[in-house]
Amino acid sequence: MTQRAQGRKLAILAADGFEQIELTSPKEAIENAGGETTIVSLKHGTIQANKHREHGDTFKVDMTLDDAKAEDFDALLIPGGLFSPDTLRTNQKAKDFTSAFFRQMKPVFAICHGPQLLISANLVNGREMTGFPAIQQDLKNAGARVLDQSVVVDSGLVTSRSPEDLGDFNAKIVEEICEGKHAEQRQSVTA
């Protein structure tokens, strides 16, 4: 395996109820490319994954949002699942942490229901995106231009629909984190 992401640090923002494969597969892709990953959450201890609607494994939280700073990372991953994005979207620290990556022009990756956090942080207006079919109308209502394809890349913002798209999503994650900052990355534009 090539170590092209060596020295790159990926923050993975998740809470209880994230879709397990949407965290583990991108995490493995970055680590296999030589990068580092840090699981960031709301509380210390562990967070519970889901495998579809069943409980999955628990994962150790490396850092809480109280201690995490966007400037310490090169990119952000927001896994989906039914519950994690819904919890994070109502947490101001999660929204602020996510917004900081956009202000710092760093890549942000969101899959499945993960873009719900971006909606609540007012980060999708004018952006080309995708997400799980159930949230595509929510993205449109928030001002995004929604494309129904495996991966959509818009100036450092990378979104994907579901676990079936992880091959394409992971390849783009590694590519984008290696590219670094994107001058066109922005919080939002007027529609």
Give the tens place of pLDDT for each residue, 13-55: 999 999 999 999 999 999 999 999 999 999 999 999 999 889 9
Known active-site residue 112: yes
| Overall number of domains in the chain | 1
Joined together, the tokens standing for residue 94 give 């999660």
Q: Is position 95 within any domain?
A: yes
- The rounded mean pLDDT for the chain is 94
Q: Residue 1 pLDDT more than 90?
A: no
Rounded to 5 degrees, what are φ and ψ at 80? Answer: -95, -145
What's residue 179's pLDDT?
Answer: 84
pTM of the entire predicted model:
0.94
**184 pLDDT higher than 80:** no
The CA distance from 18 to 15, in Å, is: 6
Select which of 52, 55, 113, 182 is catalytic.
Answer: 113
Within a domain: 186: no
Tell me the CATH number at 33.
3.40.50.880
Residue ranges making up the domain that contains 144:
9-179
Q: At what angle do helices 166-179 and 20-32 cross, to 10 degrees?
A: 50
Domain-located, residue 45: yes
**What is the average pLDDT across 173-182?**
86
- Assigned domain for 99 exists: yes
Which one of the listed residues 44, 55, 112, 182 is annotated catalytic? 112
